[in-house]
Structure 1
Amino acid sequence: MSTGAGPRTVRELLFGLPMLSGELPGFEPDPDPDAATGAVPPTPFPLFLDWLGEAVAAGVREPHAMSLATVDADGCPDLRVVALRDATEAGWTFATHAASPKGRQLAGQPQAAIAFHWREQGRQIRARGPVLRADAATAARDYLDRLPGSRAASLVGHQSEVLDDPAALPRAFDAALARVTEQPETVDPLHALFTVQPLSVEFWQGVPGRGHVRLRYRAEHLGGPWTRERLWP
C-alpha cells in the first residue's frame, strides 16, 4: 500500500469508502390499513417486476446481471455472474453450456441460489430453490434468438478449460462464426436453459445510517402458499 498520506492498509482503504450514498428509494413492506399504498403483494414475482422496472427507469447499469451460485460434487460452492434470460412466476431463467462447470454442477445437484445487486438503489434480491432444465426445443429457440457472436462462442465450447495456445481461440471462434453465418439455423445441442424455481425470495433495501429493510417470501414446497416475513437487518 502507499506510504504517503493515503491509507496504509486495505482495512483503512475500505473504511474510507462510502456505502449506501446518495438518495435511495424507500421500501415499506408492512401493510398499513389506513394507507392507500404500501402493502406488498402476496407473492414475490410482482414485487420483483416492480423493482426491476424501477431499476431500469433509474438507469441502473445491467440490471439483468445476476449472480449464480452452484455446488460441485465435493460440496464446494461456485459463484459467477450470468445474464437473466427470462423471469416468470415459475422462476428466473438463465442459459449456459451444458458441458460447462455450472452445467455439470447443476446436472449433479439441481439446486442454486441467485442474487441481483442494484448498487445505485441500494437494493438486493436473493432467491434459491431447485433448478429445472428446459426441453431441447425451448433451448433451441433461445439459442437462435442470440446474436451471431454469442451463438458462435457457444459452438466453440471448451468453456473454463485450460487454453494452452491463445492463438487457438480466434481460429476456433472465426470457424464457428463462419458456420453460424453460412448455416443460420445451426443450433448448439449443448446450449441449455435452466430456471431457478424459488422456495425463498428476499428483498433487501439499504437505508443509510440505520437498519436495512428486509422482507422474505418463503414456501414449504413448489406451488405452495407464500409466507411473508420481516427479517432483522
Structure 2
Amino acid sequence: MSAGAGHPDDPVSRAEDEGAHEPPSLRDRLRALPTFAPGLPTLDPDATPSDPATLFRAWIEEAIDAGVPLPHAMTLATAGASGEVHARTVILKDVDPSGWWFATGSSSPKARDLAENPHAALTFLWPALGRQVRVIGPVTPAAPATSTADFLARSEGSRAAALVGHQSEALTSRQEYRDAFAGALARVQRGPTLVEPTWTAYALAPTSVEFWQASDDRGQTRLRYRTVGHDWEKGLLWP
C-alpha cells in the first residue's frame, strides 16, 4: 500500500467509500429527468382563431390523436370564503358556448368552495406535445335536467362511486368503503335510471385562457386570450 493511503479499517476510508456509493438525492434525480421529447408542434400566434374555445378544441383533439394519456384530465383549483386554495384533478366533460364543463356532487368540498366563491381555474398539461392550457373564470351550476343527463351518461361503476357519497370525510376502514360501494353498485344495477340527487354539472365561463407551447430549442410561446366587453383580445406573454 502506498504511503498516505488509508487502511480499510480506517474510519475516514470507510466514510469515503460509503459516500462514493450514496444514492443521488431527490433534487439530483429531479434535475436529471428529461422534459420534452424532440419533434414538438409549434404555435403560430398569427394563425390562431379569434376565440380560445376553437383553439382549445383543436389542441385537445391533437392530444387525443397523439395518444396522450388522459388528455381530458384537468386540475381544478377553487377557494372558499376563507381564501384557502384547494386543487384536485377532475375530468373535462365538454366545451361549448357555456364554457368548460365538469361535474361533482353539490355536497363535495369543491362544490362547497364554489358556492362560497364561484371563481375557479383549470389547468391542462399534455407533456408529449409540450403544451399547457390555463382557463380562469366564474363557474355556474347547470339546470337539473343537464346534471341528470350527465349522471346517467356515466358508467355503472362511476354512478355507484357517486352514490356512495361522504366525499373527503374520514373513513374507518377500507372494508367499510368496499361494502358501501358494493351496495351502491347493486342499487345502480337494479335501477339503471337511479340518479344521485346532489349530482351537479358545472360550466366555467372563461375570462382568460392561456396557451403555452414549448419548443425543441427550449424557447416558449405564451398566448393569452382575455375578455374585453363581449369580445376576445389576444396577446403574447413573456414566458
1:13 paired with 2:29, answer yes
Distance in 2, matches of 1:52 and 1:148, equals 26
Query: Any idea what SS the aligned residue of 2:104 has?
Result: strand
Aligned to 2:222: 214
The residue matched to 1:170 in structure 2 has which SS? Answer: helix
Distance 1:8 1:98, change over 3 A: same
Partner Cα separation in structure 2 for residue 4 and residue 164 of structure 1:
46
Residue from 211, 229, 232 that aligns with 2:235? 229
Gaps of 5+ in 1: 31-38
Residue 226 of structure 1: SS of its match in structure 2?
A: strand
Deviates more, 1:3-12 or 1:69-78: 3-12
TM-score, normalization: structure 2? 0.88
| Alpha-carbon distance change, 217 to 5 in structure 1, aligned in 2, over 3 angstroms | farther
Deviation at 1:75, TM superposition (A): 0.3
8 Å CA contact 1:7–1:13 kept in 2: the answer is no
| 1:82 counterpart letter in structure 2 | V
4+ residue segments displaced more than 6 Å: none
1:151-170 to structure 2, matched below 5 A, reads 151-170=159-178
Structure 2 partner of 1:143: 151
Q: 2:180 aligns with which of 163, 172, 178?
A: 172
Superimposed CA distance per residue, residues 91-112 of structure 1 (whole angstroms, 9 cap, x where no aligned partner) = 1100111111101111111110
C-alpha displacement at 1:209, in angstroms? Answer: 3.5
Q: Distance in 2 between matches of 1:210 and 1:172?
A: 50
The residue matched to 2:231 in structure 1 has which SS? coil
Structure 1 position 12, deviation (Å): 1.6
C-alpha root-mean-square deviation of aligned residues, in Å? 1.6
1:144–1:185 Cα contact (<8 Å) kept:
yes
**Residue number among 73, 79, 82 corresponding to 2:81 in the alignment:** 73
Separation (CA, whole Å) in 1 of partners of 2:121 and 2:20: 43
Q: Out of 161-170 and 109-118, give the one that drifted further.
A: 161-170
2: distance between equivalents of 1:65 and 1:54? 15
Structure 2 unaligned residues grouped into runs of 5+ = 1-17
Quote the offset at 1:3 in angstroms: 5.3
Identity %: 46
Instruction: Give the Cα–Cα distance (whole angstroms) in 2 for the partners of residues 174 and 57 of structure 1.
Output: 36
Distance 1:210 1:165, change over 3 A: closer
What's the secondary structure of 2:132's corresponding residue? Answer: strand
* 1:84-95 equivalent positions in 2, closer than 5 A: 84-95=92-103
CA shift, 1:4, in A, is 5.2
Letter in 2 for 1:8: P
CA spacing shift, 1:3–1:216, aligned 2, 3 Å:
farther
1:105 partner SS: helix
Give secondary structure in 2 for the equivalent of 1:205.
Answer: strand
> CA offset at residue 73 of structure 1?
2.7
Q: Distance in 2 between matches of 1:11 and 1:153?
A: 38
**1:101 has 2:109 as partner:** yes
Q: Which has the higher helix share?
A: 2
TM-score normalized by the length of structure 1: 0.91
